[in-house]
Amino acid sequence: MTKQINFTIVPDDSTEQGRTRDYANFCAVAHTPFDLTLTFCDVRPLSERDVQAAEASQIVKVPIVARLALPFAVVPGLISALQEQMRLVQEGQPAQTPEPPKGSLH
């Protein structure tokens, strides 16, 4: 017999990775038949040389900050969370420290 356990997943800020925050101001989205990939980049002002290269190729290469592959099952929850955060920003509500959700998720 399988035992069912209800639990809530929360970020662990005590890890080294949990204490860092990377900045990205561009996100490219792609997918395979199996997952959605988000590639976050940091686009900085272009140098004169970058502008000249972009004029010739119509391409600007920028550093990748992070690339995340997400299974499609988590995408609807991500979209909902992003929409809720945008609603709060647009209503001018102050930023909140994330709290663990009430109730079980799994």
Domain boundaries, the chain: 23-90
SS3 state at 34: coil
Nearest to 59 by CA among 73, 46, 42, 75: 46
Percent of the chain surpassing pLDDT 70? 88
- pLDDT at site 71: 97
Whole-angstrom distance, CA of residue 85 vs CA of residue 104: 21
- Cα(104)–Cα(64) distance, integer angstroms: 35
Q: What confidence tier does 106 reach under pLDDT thresholds 50, 70, 90?
A: very low
Condensed to tens digits (0 to 9), the pLDDT of residues 55-102 reads 999 999 899 999 999 999 999 999 999 999 999 999 998 766 655 555
pLDDT at position 104 is 47
If one compares 71 and 1, the residue with the highest pLDDT of the two is 71
Query: Is 30 a residue whose pLDDT tops 60?
Result: yes
Residues 6 or more apart from 54 whose CB is under 8 A from it? Answer: 46, 60
What is the pTM for the complete model shown? 0.72
Helix, strand, coil content of the chain in percent (nearest 5):
30, 20, 50
Nearest to 87, CA basis, from 79, 97, 76: 79
